[in-house]
């Protein structure tokens, strides 16, 4: 013969003494849903972080491209005088 106190503790552990007799959401289902919601929230947070990282990289790339364009705008320097002979024997 089982002890009603133990049965009550077990029933409370798995979802209450009305477990299986009603359509209420039981504790383990609440926990499962909370875990799922937490996973989805974490995934959304990671996606937002990746998007922010991509945007920052795009801005950095744009800044690098602007600096390269500015550098390309400089007038080229002629180094011909460095290659001319300096000896008066020529």
What is the residue-averaged pLDDT of the chain? 78
Question: Cβ neighbours of residue 33 under 8 Å, at least 6 residues apart?
Answer: 25
Q: Where are the domains of the chain?
A: 27-64
Output 59 or 11, whichever has higher pLDDT. Answer: 59
Q: Is the pLDDT of residue 73 over 90?
A: no
What contacts 16, CB < 8 A, 6 or more positions away?
Answer: 24, 26, 27
pLDDT at 65: 82
15, 28 contact by CB (below 8 A):
yes
State pTM to two decimals: 0.43
Q: How many residues does the chain have?
A: 90
């Amino acid at each position: 013969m089982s002890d009603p106190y133990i049965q009550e503790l077990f029933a409370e552990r798995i979802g209450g003494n009305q477990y299986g007799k009603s359509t209420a959401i039981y504790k383990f289902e609440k926990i499962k849903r909370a875990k799922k919601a937490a996973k989805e929230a974490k995934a959304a947070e990671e996606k937002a972080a990746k998007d922010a990282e991509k945007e920052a990289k795009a801005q950095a790339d744009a800044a690098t491209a602007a600096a390269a364009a500015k550098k390309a705008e400089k007038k080229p320097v002629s180094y011909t005088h460095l290659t001319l002979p300096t000896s008066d024997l020529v």
